[in-house]
Structure 1
Amino acid sequence: MSARTRPWSAALMPAAAACVVLAGCAPADEPARSDPPATNRPTNGPTFAAVGDSITDADSGDFAAGDLGPASWARYVHDAGYGFAGGWAEWGATTARMAESATSVDADALVLLAGTNDVAFGVPFAETSANLGRIVEQVGIDEVVIASVPPMDAFPEGADELNERLEELADDRGWRFVDASAGLRTDDGTFREGMSFDGLHPSEQGARVLADAIADGLRDG
């Protein structure tokens, strides 16, 4: 990662302690739910797996088991007719953590939305790209969709630079890049009004925007 990302790493350390980035934190206003997990709701469409961090896990009760929360984009991709086959997501996860934890999943496509925490901790992109390759290899799905990460209001150029590199990596590896976060961004690279509750994580409305673009990307594949 370029030198300009390192001030963001330093700035995020206090925020991490306040549950903005680090694992183990959960949204304070998670609503109570009685609806069944997504994997218990039938769908006749194609299937997808997902690997990510808090942007993917969001307020899910048990992401891997398909208990997808209202702020998880995966919930709305499922609702669009794509069966959720499983995967792995955790708050605060770097791509290294994902590569250590992701396991084989039987699905038609793998969606990766990853890298925000790598930027936060100043991880060089060479390591990020290697970790993404390990994730794809371990999950074992040939059809791979790389989704752009959402804005970072405190450091919009960090997200922009990461997304540029993710697009180049996808082109190089034969994966598909989907700029799923385009509908979340203003012209200056920050979140549009109503799309985030903290300037880093999408709101439920933002999750639906991500899901619409990811579902379109799966359809186009």
Structure 2
Amino acid sequence: MKPYVISNVGMSLDGKLATVGGDSRISCEEDLIRVHKIREKVDGIMVGIGTVLKDNPRLTVHKIKSNKNPVRIVVDSKLRIPLNARVLNKEAKTIIATTEKADKEKLKELSKIENVEVIICGKEKVDLKKLMEELYKRGIKSILLEGGGTLNWGMFKEGLVDEVSVYIAPMIFGGKAVSYVDGEGFKTVDEAVKLELKNFYRLGEGIVLEFKVKKDE
């Protein structure tokens, strides 16, 4: 068993999450509210360590009035998370998924932080399928996947995403900036993740597309 995973992203029309200079101001205020409404409904919010290092997010529900904060999940194979990262604050529980190669002293330091749990799953790289099983055992039945591009690739490659929600801003960034899904990519169209469009609507100056991920029978 695994949690139901919703991959959400705000991107430019050419599929970028930020400019080549790292400017990621893509979502309009209406889209931020949309995302926080999804956050409020799920049991967990998951990001890769790159997102934590770049944006230092809180990963809480704060754009709308709410009494609920989901569990924050950080995939961090080399345990690079700073001990002062905002995602480790006391606003919500945080689970850090790492590997057997993780620094033992860093593990000890993290174990001292209230509401932080470290899960070891994988030797050198986090085993995402095993992580999903472990999260499900802990009562996390739904997850909002918020990137970045490397983690998104891993989740799609392993067939762990069930739904996709995309805000497309009316902008074009160009260049070799980080994309919605990075990684090595699929070599053929036959291998690609197939989606079924379920809904679309205008939001602010952009558009939201909602898909179901087609699963192999």
Instruction: Name the TM tier (shorter chain).
Output: 0.3 to 0.5
- TM-score norm. by structure 1 comes to 0.34
Using CA pairs under 8 Å that are at least 6 residues apart, name the structure with larger relative contact order, 1 or 2. Answer: 2
- TM-score norm. by structure 2 comes to 0.35
- Normalized per residue, the structure richer in strand is 2
Pick the structure with greater CA Rg.
2
